[in-house]
Amino acid sequence: MRKFLQTYGLFVTFVVLFIVLAIWSPAFRNPQNLMNLLQQNAVNGIIACGMTLMMISGGFDLSVGANAALSGMVAAALFLKFNIPVGMIGGLLASGAVGLVNGLLIAKVGINPFVTTLGTQIITRGLIFVSTNAKPIYGLPMSYMTVGLGKIGPFPVATTLFVLVAVITHIVLKHTPFGQYVLSVGGNEEAARLSGINVSKVKTSVFTIGGALAGLGGLILLGQTITGQPQAATGYELNAIAAVVVGGTSLSGGQGTITGTVVGVLLMGMIANALNLLNVSPYWQPAVTGLIILLAVGFDATNKKSSQKQNTRGGGLLAKLGIGTKA
């Protein structure tokens, strides 16, 4: 039973909560509300996919929210001077550059990910406010709303992009050598280095990808508001970390799946949606997010202690039987 809960507990929780909310609230099970739920969590989901890769590699990024805002502001400014394609490319390049800087500082210089990404978060937000005088950018092309609020058939464009990102990152993580390198680096960095893996290159690449995905999330958010907001995506880094941790990715690295992250994103979004339907103050939602993070981390720590005890007992039994001992 314990093994079953460890493997499928998150999915079971998601299904049970969905059924309870669907029975309890007609507003929740309304098809329009469910479509809105998918659309509203697309940005967090895309950012969380990048965060999953970073956390599996043994790090995390506190600057993804600021990076998403940077992408949106750069894109908005370029929309007015040039056109939509140039703006989108510029936004992605800017966010990818911040991710690259994070990766180089962590992998090459050796600065702790917490300190590095906290520093770049503050610098990025500061540069956005200084360069814009903390003023929004208005007058963007209304056609760009398609990216944030448009639909492809019955499905929102934002949700479709989230699905594409999730599928691609899942394939990269599970079915490519690079994905195996990421898992190896997060599991045991020194062993990965001794086996010939370029640890610095892997870490730099992971943070660059994470920065670019944060930028993509910022572009979608820009399409939903059709206004460049300097304070956009505030707190999104905590939402992404919460979804990834709830999805089963270990804080110590070396373990995690994109599938779990997707379920974690939807579970967090479903809880937020239920709180809104209950007319709970939005100020309580960060508290709920923090509580979920603590519960998920506590569950992860408990599982690790249990595994360590089992390994210790197994090692002691093997020693008693004379297996694995030196002659």
Q: Tell me which of 84-88, 101-105, 294-298, 318-322 is least confident.
A: 318-322
Residue 283, both tokens: 């100020």
pLDDT digits (tens, 9 = 90+) for 188-234: 999 999 999 999 999 999 999 999 999 999 999 999 999 999 999 98
Q: Quick one: pLDDT at residue 311?
A: 55
Mean pLDDT of 254-265: 92
pLDDT reported for residue 327: 35
What per-residue confidence (pLDDT) applies to 82?
A: 92
**Over residues 252-270, mean pLDDT:** 90
Mean pLDDT of 135-141: 91
pLDDT class for 81, splitting at 50, 70, 90? very high
pLDDT at 321 over 50: no
Q: So what's the pLDDT on residue 6?
A: 62
Whether pLDDT at 2 is above 70: no
Residues 51-59 have a mean pLDDT of 94
List CB contacts of 152: < 8 A, sequence separation 6 or more: 160
At 119 the pLDDT is 95
Residue 284 predicted with pLDDT over 90: no
* pLDDT reading at 313 higher than 60: no
Reported confidence tier of residue 7, pLDDT bands at 50, 70, 90: low
Which string of DSSP letters, residue by residue, matches 255-314? ---HHHHHHHHHHHHHHHHHHHHTT--GGGHHHHHHHHHHHHHHHHHHHHHHHHHHHHHH
The mean pLDDT value of the chain amounts to: 87
Please report the pLDDT score of residue 248 as a whole number: 86
What distance in Å separates the CA atoms of residue 170 and residue 156, rounded to the nearest whole number? 21
Mean pLDDT of 168-175: 95
pLDDT of residue 266: 93
What is the pTM for the complete model shown?
Answer: 0.88
Instruction: Quote the pLDDT of residue 207.
Output: 96
How far is residue 15's CA from residue 97's CA, in Å, rounded to a whole number?
A: 39
Residue 1 above 80 pLDDT?
A: no
Token look-up 């699905």 returns 163
What's the CA gap between 253 and 59, in Å, rounded? 7
Q: DSSP letter for 134, please.
A: T
